[in-house]
Amino acid sequence: MAQHGLHADTGSTANDAEVSGVEASEFDAGQLIMGHIVDEHGWHIAGDHSLPLPIILYDTERGFSVFSSARFEHGHAAYDGYMLHDGKIVAVDASGNIDEAASANIWDISLTKNVVSLFLVVVLVLITFFSVAKSYKKRAGKAPKGLQSLMEPIILFVRDDVAKGAIGETKYARFMPYLLTTFFVILFANLLGLVPFFPGGANITGNIAVTFALALITFVIVTVNGNRHYWRHILAMPGVPVWVLIILTPVEIMGMFLKPFVLMIRLFANITAGHIIVMSFFSLIFVFGATSPVAGYGVSVVSLLFTIFMFFLELLVAFIQAYVFTFLAALYIGGAVEESHEHKESIV
């Protein structure tokens, strides 16, 4: 969890003294909050200690460069013609000045904090599911036990209340692997982000790139699996006059892209807002402490209570947002594979 004054690698040239040693007038609440929710090239552990992560750059002029983020000394030093500036890697000249033209040639594919955390989430999900699958094989026909008993109600909930209800009894099964994967990846990422110490604290689902990727996958699945009935209602809705279609068809096409956009923004905004609120309450201690130590200690009690309350609320939100994203994805898929009423009647 990147915090102002905790010597975390926030990618800026902020003062790296510990919070306890920072003068009250120097405290920047905005930097503390943004340092927590944005991605970074290092992972703060405790005090002055942080875990450097690999920097992987592709420069169209110089080729690949691989080195440790420790070379940047928390954003205070340049290395091999590169430097961290406001969380981004830029090119610098011999005098240490930013070279805008050279910076435009840099492709940053580094293993940042969010990337490493996402790999950790994937590993946790795989371990969990392989463990549960192994338990089902060993205890075939027996009552669930241990982790199996914890996961089974959640899996059945996603199957019965989400997939079957939104997609239908006959077509839900082939989409279950995606829906379960999406639900548990989001859930594990949300929960890991609430852990205030290493290896937790990363704002994975509060990163717009992560939610964009999840929404894009949903969009591709919906588009590829859309049947004739689905595309007919988008391109030329039956029973609608031609002059109305001139207006309606572009709106329907726009709706195709609006749905994944809503998925992306909803998850990103809710998770990010929760982290901002928690860090805002934490910042009140130092903001009031700037006036007097007595005010700082007095507010710290109230701030701590609100922070604890928000932590448990965020715990609930972690489950709710995983459910909402999965449910909406299932609804969109269900709309794409739903058969027309004429087709249903002919089957009956």
pLDDT of residue 26: 66
In the structure encoding, which two tokens stand for residue 237, read together?
């809705």
Q: Which amino acid is at 319?
A: F
pLDDT per position as a tens digit, 7-37:
334 344 333 433 344 444 467 777 777 777 8
pLDDT value at 135 more than 60: yes
Report the distance separating Cα 60 and Cα 142, nearest Å. Answer: 60
CA distance 83 to 269: 30
Q: Rounded mean pLDDT of 314-338?
A: 94
pTM check: above 0.85: no
Measure the CA–CA gap between 1 and 195, rounded to whole angstroms. 9
pLDDT tens digits for range 82-123: 998 888 899 998 888 888 888 888 999 999 999 999 999 999
Selection from 327, 77, 78, 342 nearest residue 218 by Cα? 327
Amino acid at 230: Y
Could you give the percent of the chain with pLDDT greater than 90? Answer: 41
Choice between 8 and 54, residue whose per-residue pLDDT is larger: 54
Alpha-helical regions (H) of the chain: 29-37, 100-103, 113-138, 147-157, 164-167, 176-194, 208-225, 228-235, 242-289, 293-337, 341-347
Q: How many CB atoms neighbour CB 228 within 10 A?
A: 10
Q: Cβ(85)–Cβ(75) under 8 Å?
A: yes
Tokens of 119: 């790999």
Q: How confident is the model at residue 145 (pLDDT cuts 50, 70, 90)?
A: confident
Task: State the residue for tokens 């609930």.
Answer: 316
The predicted structure's pLDDT at residue 340: 66
Q: What is the average pLDDT across 312-339?
A: 93
Cα distances (Å, whole numbers) of residue 187 to 13, 58, 180, 193, 293: 34, 33, 10, 10, 40
For 47, the token pair is 């005090």
pLDDT at 28: 74
Q: How many residues does the chain have?
A: 348
Q: Which residues pair with 222 in a beta bridge?
A: none
Tell me the C-alpha distance between 151 and 148, whole Å: 5
Query: Could you read off the pLDDT of 200-217 as tens digits, one per residue?
Result: 888 899 999 999 999 999
CB-based contact 211:263 (threshold 8 Å): yes
Query: What are the residue boundaries of the structural domains of the chain, listed by start?
Result: 19-110, 114-347
Per-residue pLDDT at 4 exceeds 70: no
For 59, phi then psi, to 5°, come to -105, 125
Give the tokens for residue 144.
Answer: 């669930």
How does pLDDT run across 248-294, given as a tens digit for each residue?
A: 999 999 999 999 999 999 999 999 988 888 888 878 888 888 787 88
User: From residue 207, how far is each of 155, 218, 222, 284, 325 by CA, in Å?
Assistant: 26, 17, 23, 25, 15
252 vs 327: CA distance, rounded Å: 21
pLDDT confidence bin for 236, thresholds 50/70/90: confident
Residue 125's pLDDT is 94
Q: Looking at the predicted structure, is the pLDDT value of residue 140 above 50?
A: yes
